[in-house]
Structure 1
Amino acid sequence: MASSGAMSNRTIKTEDFWIASDTPGIELMVRNKRLSSSENFSAERTILMVHGATFPLESLFDVELDGFSFLDFMASHGYDVYAVNVRGYGGSTRPPEMEQPADHHPPLVRTETGVQDFGTAVDFILKRNNLSNINVFGMSWGGTVAGAYTSRNNDRVNKLVLVAPQWVSSKPIPLDPGGQIGSYRLVPIEAMKTRWLNAAPEDKRTDLLPEGWFEKWADATIASDPSSQTHTPPSIRATNGPIQDVREYWTLGKKLYEPKELSVPVLLVHAEWDIDVPIDSAKALFSGITGAPYKSWVEIGEGTHMVMLEKNRLQVFHAVLQFLDQEYIPAR
């Protein structure tokens, strides 16, 4: 399936692929965007992204705000851009347990499953483009997925980008609602606006999201789950495996991977008002990255955990672009 869009008069080609996972009957959706005038890309100009614990790639990376999305932005700057939905999210297959009441099964899609699905997407891109490594990008829980994958597969990664990456925290983690959890949870989209804006100081909330942006994001998010309109109010399903990992790892001070085992360049982007990943948590992760050839930290002022969809999103976009554009020649 292919379609075209434009940004700055440069035509972008879009293709969606469904690739087999390691589980029979489960397919993973991988979206690719690139300039239609370009066909061959180096490892340095290829990137794979993975989403967080609640919202899929369609909702986080490919909502057109002011006429373009993050995927569009990177593609327009000459990158071969891929993003994958882990099973249970967006256009990927939902495990059959998600078609049953949530309390019938334990939490679905633990982080290890996310890492496996991400690795499947990496393998698909390497084979498709005849490459030995690519850049990888993870946001929030996706930061854990991409970080854990990289720590075990440094040879397949050129550079690693982490935006608001989940990490060990001594504070309660808002993702966890408390109480007993089932296989998945329902996330009412309209209710997200209050939670989103409440992360910012009261006098800064009115201009955090330019007019119409939340509505565009909400429409894209609802459209990403075919069952969303069967719930009142409209809600998407999100797997609870990441929350179970919060309980068994992050709030107990246990790491899901060792940051010292990252041996590629790393960029960490954090926003001033991120209450999901407090700055002390992000700093602990950053200080633990001791094996990278170099690492960079970018702090975005006046942004929340969802900074990539807010008024200052271009600061994130340009920070990622600058980091990836910087020439890096690995030691031989």
Structure 2
Amino acid sequence: MSSTSINNSVIVFSEHRIPSDTPGIDLYVRNKRLNGHEVFTAEKTIVMVHGATFSSGSLYDVPLSGLSFMDYLATAGYDVFAVDVRGYGLSTKPEAMEVEANLNPPLVNTDTGVADFTAAVNFVLKHRGLTKVNIFGMSWGGTVAGAFAARNQDKVVKLALLAPQWLSDKPIPIDGGGHLDSYRLVPVLDSKARWLSTAPEQARDGLVPEGWFEQWAQFSLAEDPWSAERAPNKLRATNGPIQDIRDYWRSGKPYYQPSDITAPTLLVHGEWDIDVTIDLALAYFKELRSAQYRLWVEIGESTHLALMEKNRLLAFKSIRDFYGEEFSPG
């Protein structure tokens, strides 16, 4: 356990390793909360899960300009947990990730992601003595969190999603086509060009403030020492989520039904997101017809990685306010 000070607030950081449903596979869960936050409630507890490429630490806890997304929520009084699905971040890598990628089929599909997220939520419920929590996920993590919410209505206070996956009759950029090995090597240092290319040319220079990308890349690569030895500046990411794009989202078959979600739901979307375009996000939003209430927030001048760009505080605030609001339709 450690602590940091942000704007005169002391944030306590703790780490947990919890068992998955597979012997030998442990899951890494990070937690942040204000020092002195010892009364735990469902409404003030959040459990997060990451997308198909980068870990929860990489997406939610790199202190850009001294402040991460988890820090922001913790300073607002939330008890925030974020899990790495197996194969990602600091969770156990399946044995097939330790050998050449072409020796095995795609690893860690969405079923596995949901199982690992379920383990994390159940851990938090027991650890804090709760029956419900708020949940958050982005992109593939939005599928994991959404499917969990649809199947575990009794455990969810509110659901917030950033750019969740949905059905598409057009190619999805993360799937480059061709044969899928068990995992892929992501050239982290080269990803800035692709990231910026999703924004209009005249807006690219100011999209990611100076130094942020380098800080994020260093953090992300440090989580996988294997890469430093065998594939410098590249990060292993499992291909199960890519296979599921082909089996579900590009095949007209929803992995789950958003209409089964009853918890209040927030959908956050970036204006320049080409991975989950606005028409896909709108189609998903319309499916949330059983939610107690639903809210859409569009973040202008932002991409799929809105949480790490110049307008990130707009996304942070929208999510914080949604979890904190008391609202009953009618």
Fold agreement, TM-score > 0.5: yes
Paired residue for 1:136?
135
Is 2:108–2:241's contact at 8 Å kept on the other side of the alignment?
A: yes
Measure, in 1, the Cα distance between the counterparts of 2:135 and 2:291. Answer: 15
Q: Is 1:209 matched with 2:208?
A: yes
Paired residue for 2:323?
324
Per-residue CA deviations over 1:90-121 (Å, capped at 9, x if unaligned) read: 01000000001001000000001000000000
Per-residue CA deviations over 1:147-167 (Å, capped at 9, x if unaligned) read: 001100010000000001111
Letter in 1 for 2:82: A
Q: CA RMSD in A?
A: 1.2
Paired residue for 2:239?
240
Q: CA deviation at 1:257?
A: 0.4
Is 2:293–2:329's contact at 8 Å kept on the other side of the alignment?
A: no
> Where does structure 1 lack aligned partners over 5 or more consecutive residues?
none
- Mapping of residues 1-332 of structure 1, within 5 Å: 2-327=1-326
Distance 1:330 1:227, change over 3 A: farther
Per-residue CA deviations over 1:195-251 (Å, capped at 9, x if unaligned) read: 000000011000001110000110111011121212444111000000000011101
Measure, in 2, the Cα distance between the counterparts of 1:87 and 1:229. Answer: 20
Between the two proteins, the alignment pairs up a number of residues equal to 330
Letter in 2 for 1:158: V
> Where does structure 2 lack aligned partners over 5 or more consecutive residues?
none
Letter in 1 for 2:168: S
Is 2:188–2:221's contact at 8 Å kept on the other side of the alignment?
A: yes
Q: CA deviation at 1:42?
A: 0.6
SS of equivalent residue, structure 1 residue 196? helix
SS of equivalent residue, structure 2 residue 310? coil
Using the size of structure 2 for normalisation, the TM-score is: 0.98
Letter in 1 for 2:210: E
Measure, in 2, the Cα distance between the counterparts of 1:107 and 1:255. Answer: 20
Measure, in 1, the Cα distance between the counterparts of 2:26 and 2:263. Answer: 29
Is 1:163–1:269's contact at 8 Å kept on the other side of the alignment?
A: yes
Distance 1:140 1:225, change over 3 A: same
Q: CA deviation at 1:264?
A: 0.5
SS of equivalent residue, structure 2 residue 12? strand
Is 2:262–2:290's contact at 8 Å kept on the other side of the alignment?
A: yes
Letter in 2 for 1:245: D
Letter in 2 for 1:283: L
Letter in 2 for 1:163: L
Letter in 1 for 2:166: W
Q: CA deviation at 1:330?
A: 11
SS of equivalent residue, structure 2 residue 136? strand
SS of equivalent residue, structure 1 residue 249? helix
Letter in 2 for 1:217: W
Measure, in 1, the Cα distance between the counterparts of 2:196 and 2:301. Answer: 11
Is 1:41–1:79's contact at 8 Å kept on the other side of the alignment?
A: no
Q: CA deviation at 1:38?
A: 1.1
Measure, in 1, the Cα distance between the counterparts of 2:240 and 2:329. Answer: 36
Letter in 1 for 2:251: L
Distance 1:330 1:294, change over 3 A: closer
Letter in 2 for 1:306: L
SS of equivalent residue, structure 1 residue 149? helix
- Percent of paired sites with the same residue: 56
Measure, in 2, the Cα distance between the counterparts of 1:203 and 1:330. Answer: 42
Measure, in 1, the Cα distance between the counterparts of 2:297 and 2:227. Answer: 35
Letter in 1 for 2:253: K
SS of equivalent residue, structure 2 residue 134? strand
SS of equivalent residue, structure 2 residue 225? coil
Per-residue CA deviations over 1:112-142 (Å, capped at 9, x if unaligned) read: 1000000000000000111010000001100
Measure, in 1, the Cα distance between the counterparts of 2:231 and 2:180. Answer: 20
Measure, in 2, the Cα distance between the counterparts of 1:128 and 1:161. Answer: 22
Per-residue CA deviations over 1:240-297 (Å, capped at 9, x if unaligned) read: 0000000111011110000110000000000000000011111111000010110000
Measure, in 2, the Cα distance between the counterparts of 1:251 and 1:158. Answer: 31
